[in-house]
Amino acid sequence: MTVTTSRSQAQRLAVDMELILAVDCSYSVSQAEYQLQMNGLARALRSPAVNRAIHAGHYKRISIALIQWSGSNNQVVSIPWTVIGSPNSVAALSERIGKLPRHVAIGPTSISAVIAKSLHMFNNSPYRSYRKVLDISGDGRNNDGVPAHFLRDVAIKKGITVNGLAIINETPTLHHYFRNAVIGGQGSFVIKANSYEAYEYAIQKKLVREIAPLPIVQNTF
């Protein structure tokens, strides 16, 4: 069955959140560094902490998609929307991610373009949820296309949270750039990894934080 934007919201399978993982494949990312991202992400998904976060939700399932990206014309959906919740579904997605080849041509860094691509994906998602989160990992500033904050602001207006994982091996202040120009929306945050070798720990920490249900904020007067 082909899912279209005309499909009513009520017909869509409910999940606790829709999460897009956007993986940097630009010039600055070597093949070895690409593989560290994929292997780290695959292992993080299998971790008990991430699985506890998934099962803390009401439906005990989330939908995930993965985009590889570099320049303005280079964003590839390597894994389309996929629901995970059961141990088998998590293991299957983890194995799939660990085996993913590099699909996108190397190029400049267009964070704005991957946000635009993600907006389209959220708009055409076959699932429904109250939380839509874009998780951008990268090791450099936006240097291609419109400034990142232009599209970040569009995402916020559409109720999408943009989180960042700044890999600061080449740019020590990158996490500050992510904080000012990339992240935004309800509960948004940035985590830094000091190297690609530290990516696995950082992405696991990040996934736990963004998948876990948001706390209920009570107003006090």
Cα separation values, 173 from 1, 104, 141, 177, Å: 46, 26, 10, 7
Cα–Cα dist 37/198, whole Å? 10
- Identify the pLDDT of residue 9: 57
Domains and their CATH numbers in the chain? 29-129+148-173+182-211 (3.40.50)
Parallel/antiparallel/unpaired status of strands 190-193 and 132-138: unpaired
Cα–Cα dist 29/58, whole Å? 37
For 82, phi then psi, to 5°, come to -140, 130
Residues 42-81 have pLDDT tens digits of 999 999 999 999 999 999 999 999 999 999 999 999 999 9
Residues 7-28 have pLDDT tens digits of 455 578 999 999 999 999 999 9
- 64 and 79 in contact (C-beta within 8 Å)? yes
- Identify the pLDDT of residue 139: 96
Residues 136-145 have pLDDT tens digits of 999 999 999 9
